[in-house]
Structure 1
């Protein structure tokens, strides 16, 4: 789909350039036979025509977005359990659920979620459950089950259950062009209703399915990650290997996202559109944390598993740090070497009061396709001496004297002294890396312990 989108954009750009070229030729022919004042008037008129033409061309898309917003204004919600959210939380966890033939994992998901959250976590979090089925018996029974198990969370305002319909009924899709079309349509409608309701409830929004197991203290993991990324541009932070669940958004982006989703036929898979939405807002590659904190739970049906195949975290094994030389402009302690930060053993590198702009640079002996990178700093038990503000960058176009790379791309900031992320590449980007750079982004007035930089590279498959 991404290739199709960019081909369409390319065709549109070509047509626009062709139109501008023809207009410029027209302007040149007319201007050559007129006075200076007349030339100015003609040029202004042609420029205005170009602006009007571009405005009209985009107007239909803006009108469509406005039309989608009006559709959402008529979305119908009913509060089934809990109270209307008061005040703005830090995080809304959105879960949608629908009646299924073979039962539901919704209650198990909620149990896992609340068991994984501390009392402090719950003060900053709202769990929003959206039920989108119209069967009153199922709705009443589901609400009764949730209320019976989670009444303390409902009474404290940490849990709310709503029923939602789009335009007075469940949204209908076009004649489905694939066997999974109906499931995709239902998923998209639920996501739109959930995001639309949650758009003003918190700073961030976490999307989960109703069959997910949560890792302990997942809220803290998300908090520290979004804090580290606060000054950097991002659209979606991905905390799991699942296609939909585990994605965190700015709530300020939700109105645009819901309108964007409604631009497309409802039976297009939501996860594909989320990728396109990130691209449109200039997040060109996924931001995917290597250690998942959300996991797929159970199976609803063979057909649903076929339509929504869940990707398991690929076991990349141990890091394979390829041969490299390490440089730094920081002062280190004792009879050590910068190489200690890269060798896969118990050695480490202590650096003294690093300043903003200081770096540790790993220069690979030969370019490699890096698929995952991790950085560990600080003392494992005491959480002291860790790098509080820093970034990891990958570089290419190796230069000599001194050794460095001419171009770098950001992987991400360290989060509480650590980073562990999968590495993705833009379609036309250089995919063989020569440098891995740990950059200090703020001065520290204490000693930092760099435990290890770990690198995983893509193993070339042997020809048979």
Structure 2
């Protein structure tokens, strides 16, 4: 189906919608040749959405030779179903804005946008700034990185930078109480910057999401992962709309990063940002961290994310729209100005251990092996603890470890679980890589199913401070690991050397190895 004259093809991308599914892109000259093409079988009248040079949505319905068009608010019908697509391009600082998308086979999704409902703390400055930094934040299981991220951004920028930069922190979890509590805490912690306009704290107004169980899965993702990444796209689209008119440029971060020293000055010195022939610049080597746009493009990107929120993950969408905008080659600043330091993802049971090796600042070296998310527990010891290297450092996720001064016979390290657990494995890692001789030289591992941590059962002995139930030659080991309430390491012989426990790992029975 040829719709446009040959000369205008580079200004237009054709997106085909059938009555049953979003089918994807049709070839845009050679711009998106790298992406897989899909066969197209349309029932009834052919339908297309065109995005012109300014990415204003235009609907075209082709019935034989007749072409009908309408602009912005679009409703189109077929004999078998009805679909609705509204992409609204009003100012992001309009009081109320709604974009409705009815995905095939799902309930209607409406993006509710209201500045007054979103902005909780802070204010807009009278003049447009240089840069807006957008940081979405969602609840992670028993972990929170946002304060370290904010501290790093503040510590590594100058007072002059703070006058022309706005940091927008968006709490966008499904738990509204969590959002409000975090927003209040951030406002109290950083009140000086809230008052100056350097920091704004917003929350995502309640959204009525589609039924993700009914949306076709892509990349063979589970429904849980599809839901997570689809919501992420919707949340980012909201943040883009909110930030589009605050500054000349926009940069997207995650809530678990640290910044390099003088990162704002490095961005200003990068001459390419003041040129016109780019759409996207990356100031980090990882995912959706340090992604830099012109603010004038934020509404376009927001519309694009809303259109394909359930089809592609955010970083894939970003690569696609960059090619649509005719940026063939990636533009990446090195050294990277932002480092990923978080471990626990907002997606349940997902861990991120990778770091950016091109980071300008101090390298983060992962010295632990597991970074396991253990079940809730109280951790204590009768050993003499060295400074801040307390007993909990070996059990909960962090970069430190438990360090004891010359353990003596009979001293213990004890974990009391909040709830009984059936374990698949119990692993203890002794000495730290930088202190390989510091470990409990003689000790045994014990477990108990008693509520009062009595009737201890010996599982085995430490070997150079380490232990792994998978190496225990006991046919009853699986039975012994049922309904555990307490775990204990007991020193069986005094030593003069100090001792480290790097990690104590409880692999629960339902977990994958």
TM-score range, shorter chain: 0.5 to 0.7
Q: In structure 2, which of residues 193, 206, 224 is the aligned counterpart of residue 153 of structure 1? A: 193
Find the partner of 1:255 among 278, 299, 315.
Answer: 299
How far apart are 1:89 and its partner, in Å?
A: 0.9
| Alignment deviations for residues 412-456 of structure 1 (CA, whole Å, 9 cap, x no partner) | xxxxxxxxxxxxxxxxxxxxxxxxxxxxxxxxxxxxxxxxxxxxx
Stretches of structure 1 that go unaligned for 5 or more consecutive residues are 17-48, 316-464
Indicate if the aligned counterparts of 1:97 and 1:132 stay in contact, CA closer than 8 A: yes
For 1:78-107, what per-residue CA distance to the aligned partner results, in whole angstroms no more than 9, with x for missing partners?
Answer: 321112443211100000112222221011
> In 1, are the aligned partners of 2:287 and 2:315 still within 8 Å (CA)?
yes
**Equivalent of 2:226, from 181, 185, 201?**
181
| Equivalent residue, structure 2, for 1:238 | 282
Cα separation, 2, equivalents of 1:11 and 1:164: 38
Comparing 261-270 and 131-140, the one that deviates more? 131-140
Corresponding residue of 1:7: 37
Contact 1:65–1:259 (Cα < 8 Å) also in 2? no
Whole-Å Cα distance in 1 between the matches of residues 303 and 351 of structure 2?
24
SS at match of 1:7: coil
Distance 1:60 1:162 in 2: 28
Deviates more, 1:116-125 or 1:78-87: 78-87
**1:313 has 2:357 as partner:** yes
1:49-448 paired onto structure 2 within 5 Å: 56=68, 66-67=86-87, 69=89, 71-72=98-99, 74-76=112-114, 77-165=117-205, 168-169=206-207, 171-172=209-210, 174-175=212-213, 177=217, 178-179=221-222, 180-225=225-270, 227-266=271-310, 268-301=312-345, 306=350, 310=354, 312-313=356-357
Residues 301 and 250 of structure 1, relative CA distance in 2, 3 Å threshold: closer
SS in 2 for 1:108: helix
- Partner Cα separation in structure 2 for residue 311 and residue 3 of structure 1: 31
CA contact (8 A) 1:299 1:305 kept: no
Distance 1:160 1:303, change over 3 A: closer
Instruction: State the partner residue of 1:341.
Output: none
**Is the Cα–Cα contact under 8 Å of residues 241 and 311 in structure 1 kept in the other structure?**
no
Instruction: Quickly say closer, same or farther: Cα 1:304–1:212, change in 2 above 3 A.
Output: farther
SS in 2 for 1:80: strand
Cα pair 1:132 1:170 within 8 Å, conserved: no
Higher relative contact order (CA 8 A, sep 6+): 1
Aligned residue pairs, count: 277
When residues 198 and 314 of structure 1 are mapped into structure 2, their CA distance, relative to the original with a 3 A threshold, is closer
Contact 2:141–2:348 (8 Å) recurs in 1: no
Q: 2: distance between equivalents of 1:308 and 1:62?
A: 41
Shift of 1:256: 0.8
Structure 1 residue 153: Cα displacement = 0.6
Q: Under a length normalisation based on structure 1, what TM-score does the superposition of the two structures give?
A: 0.53
Shift of 1:185: 1.6
**CA RMSD in angstroms, aligned pairs only:** 3.6
Alignment partners' CA distance in 1, 2:196 and 2:350: 39
Query: Scaled by the length of structure 2, what TM-score is found?
Result: 0.48
Higher helix residue share: 1
Find the aligned partners of 2:334 and 2:211 in 1 and give their Cα distance.
Answer: 36
CA distance in structure 2 between the aligned counterparts of 1:65 and 1:193, rounded to whole angstroms: 17
Task: Supply the distance in 2 between the matched residues of 1:88 and 1:309 (Cα, whole angstroms).
Answer: 38
Q: Does structure 1 conserve the Cα–Cα contact (< 8 Å) formed by 2:345 and 2:352? A: no
Report the 3-state secondary structure (helix = DSSP H, G, I; strand = E; otherwise coil) of the residue aligned with 1:203. Answer: strand
Query: 1:302 deviation in Å?
Result: 9.4
Q: Is the 8 A contact 2:229 2:313 kept in 1?
A: yes
Deviation at 1:300, TM superposition (A): 1.5
Q: CA deviation at 1:164?
A: 1.7
